[in-house]
A and B are shown apart, each in its own frame.
Chain A
Amino acid sequence: MPTLIGQPTPRIDGRAKVTGRASYASDEPVANPAHAFLLTSFIARGRITGFDFAEAKAVPGVLDILTHESVGSEAKPPKQASGGPTTTTMEDDQVWHDGQIIGIVLADTYEAAREAGFRVRVHYAAETPAASFDAAGAERERRDDGEHQDYAIGDAEGALGAAEVTLQAAYATPTQHHNPIELFTTTCAWENGNLTIWEPSQFVYGLRANVAGQLGIPPERVRVISKFVGGAFGSKGGATARTAWIAVAARRLGRPVKLVATRDQGFTIATYRAETRHRIRLGATRDGRLTALVHEGTEVTSRPSRYNVSGNETTARLYACPNILTRVDIVHADRNTPGFMRAPPETPYMFALESAVDELAEKLRLDPIELRRRNDAKTDPVSGLPFAGRRLMACFDEGAARFGWADRNPRAGSMRDGEWLVGLGCASAVYETNIAACAARVSLRPNGTARVEVAGHDIGTGAYTVVAITAADRLGLDASVIDVAMGDTTLPAAPLAAGSSHTASLANAVAAACEMVRDRLARAATTRNAGPLAGRDPGTLRLVDSCLTAPDGVAEPLSDAVSRLSPGVVEAFAENIPDGAPPDAMGKLHAGTNPILRGYKRSDVAAYAFGAQFVEVRVHARTREIRVSRMLGAFAAGNIVNPIAAHSQYMGGMIWGLSAALLEKTELDDSAARYVNDNLSEYHIPVCADVRDVEVMMLPDDDDRANPLGIKGLGEIGIVGMNAAIANAVHHATGRRIRELPIRIEDLL
């Protein structure tokens, strides 16, 4: 049967995006809003001893200034998706980190609120902060098993001692901030005790439940609207402190309040990718078979939070190795609480492992692809379960052929093009296949159009189009006649758009609702005797080309099939709870918890997407300028719903990798525990001129053990291998092994 799933489909929201009519949260019109400006702390640790508002309140148009003294008891801190307790904001006088929200100025205009904000004087009892690793006062603890887990398979220490070849190396990754181009905005309005929040969100049900809990009101009294999200990358997944305070402000003023936080505030009022350190020890036979793998990570977090990403849960599972040991320590510093950022566990941890594998290959005088082939795992080394598809080596083979890997002279520093040293590097990419419970409502009209409602999130992934394609495919219609409503808690509950799970979660729920529609139409057509399909087996009928069709081709127009049941629409509501997910998953979702089933926590298979990433770098022989001239990613990530948007996402992920490896680092002032380059001209991300050839290959990978539609997700895997592929290419170009990111000119002088 021909299927729309996998056919290139232009985004159904494309026209809205190119005409400026796509409505992001701060674009939504509200009547007569007051404008908010956040006051944030100038110290990283201590207490607030007082405020001086005289000058600020004299600014015309100022309505109120909220602090812990005036509203501190009116909201509780938001619950974090991970890591337990977080820092407080205006709940009390404590300052946990630089840039903490300590007050909100409200005024008739943004201009007045901002000016008044700069005229507030704050008095502190400051203490010396600890900024990061190694700072006096930073507290180290071992991360307990719980949400994340350490592995001790076999006897890794013993195997290392006995290994023919060993490699030991330390790696480090920096603080990085998501910096979506859309700022962190919140607009709140109350009407008859009901709160509406317009805020860019990766999880509207989560935000609703969280804010309701913070304010002590029932979630049914809160509506969150987030139709378009201007980039998120993890930063808009959890509830941050600002939302409840803006709600409190709007309630006090009896007027909508609009906050558009500034770019620098975005560095401290939301989350970030924390700096990590790694120690890797590998043992191998002389012919390149791994005998031991030890990956120890250390991660920074805030004082109260135990947030960590524990990416060695992935690195332990990539290669066949009988002896594995992992461990994660966390270091508490006077910082805001970190959080999810694109491929949170893999981006730092795979940099370490895939650099170490390259180093081991060099030591063994083996091609790095060949070393990976010799250790390609047939089953999950931790659980022993089969993989739900594992095409890692197919990705390497097809990618290498296309990239021209065979032309690579393996000797470091041997390839040159005029003034430029040329290096080719590669690395594996892997990301777990996740899926979450999700509900959807599908309404089919007699005129052959349909509407799908699901509180999902299009954060740039093409989710609107994924939903339309899935419904069109299952209902036998064209994607262009499917009207999709998302991003609103009045719609059926959808999970967090994160963990590369959203396409699988939405599409499987929409397909389930469509199947209910088909089933109702088919039963009516076969049991009510007037009509060409009377007496047929309803299970064999399909919706194809606007008809209800039997296997022998006998068909009834959709309009007749629908009209038989209803003069209006045929509607179905489905809740999809993935096999293996807890039965109360939908309840969790309504309570604001993301009911995700992780690919490595399943009892039947280990579900992962795989990829191979190739990079050509050019390092200038004299200036040491580093340029990425070519990158290629070959991925086997399940069934692709829309190759157009999938290509863009893979490409974006790969460029994120270029950025992480060569550009991005949030610099810390160690004495003040303060981010220094908190703006877009000093926090470097790539511009158009930084990006040259980017090639994406999508290999077939159809395995319905992943989930019924065989969708594995691909929002994150594109970045996963890039850090190491670039570091490995830089090594190949220059002979210099850089183990700390980002790699900069000064590292190669």
Chain B
Amino acid sequence: MHTTMQTILRINGREARLDHDPRITLLDALRERLGLTGTKKGCDQGQCGACTVLIDGRRVLSCFSLVAAVEGEVTTIEGLSGEDGPLHPMQQAFLDRDAYQCGYCTPGQIMSAIACVTEGHAGSPDEIREYMSGNLCRCAAYPKIVEAVQQAAPHMRGETA
């Protein structure tokens, strides 16, 4: 039960070899072992969406994913842009629209919003509202989150220079 196992994770374009407790979730591994604290713990029960990351482009709740079971390339909020470089269009849109207040759910919102666009679910405000409803924002920035997704979507699709 308490043996250690080893998993090689691919995160933000790098490989991380992790000796770990088999019970550890991807969320706790990111935060407590790999120093990637941009991914947040809000409920640890798959209910709030704050821990959303992308695995091979699909949105995944990292609190519900055991490290041992992760397959594919993991992208976290830290993987979207360089330290001082240009922001990802979705990050820029959240900044431009003030689509946050405390900022705690924001990394999860942004990861989810990127997937919302790539899934083809950003066609209308109603569709965005529906497909962004897995990410809770207690500060209630929702109308501005919808605006941010609308702003970023054409940039992500390459429709705007």
Contact = CB atoms under 8 A, between A and B. Distances in A.
Interface of A: 10-11, 13-24, 26-27, 29, 59-61, 109-112, 115, 178-183, 228-233, 260, 262-263, 458-462, 644-645, 647-649, 651-652, 655-656, 659, 679-681, 685-691, 693-694
Interface stretch (B54-62, B98-106, B153-161): B98-106
Interface in B39-89: 39-45, 47-48, 50, 76-78, 80-81, 87
B5 to A, nearest CB: 12
A321 B144 CA distance: 41
Contact of B98 (A115, A461, A645, A659): A645
State the majority secondary structure of interface residues on B.
loop
Interface of B: 2, 21, 23-24, 28, 31-32, 35-45, 47-48, 50, 76-78, 80-81, 87, 91-92, 94-96, 98, 100-107, 110, 128-130, 132-146
Given A111-B21, A680-B45, A688-B128, A20 B101 contact: no
B72 to A, nearest CB: 20
B102 A231 contact: yes
Contacts of B32: 110
Given A29-B35, A230-B40, A13 B135 contact: no
A23 B103 CA distance: 10
Contact of B104 (A182, A651, A688, A691): A182
A16 to B, nearest CB: 8
Contacts of A111: 21, 23-24, 28
A23 B37 contact: yes
B98 A649 contact: no
A688 B146 contact: yes
A8 to B, nearest CB: 9
Which 9 residue pairs across A and B have the least CB separation, nearest first? A20-B38, A230-B104, A460-B102, A17-B103, A460-B101, A20-B77, A655-B140, A27-B37, A687-B133
A112 to B, nearest CB: 7
Nearest to A683: B47
Nearest to B32: A110
A230 B102 contact: yes
B130 A181 contact: no
B103 A461 contact: no
A317 B91 CA distance: 45
A182 B91 contact: no
Most buried by B among A17, A230, A688: A688
Contact of B143 (A27, A29, A109, A651): A651
A16 B21 CA distance: 31
A182 B40 contact: yes
B82 to A, nearest CB: 9
A20 B140 contact: no
A459 to B, nearest CB: 6
A63 B138 CA distance: 36
Contacts of A690: 133, 142
B110 A179 contact: no
Contacts of B135: 688
A232 B91 CA distance: 24
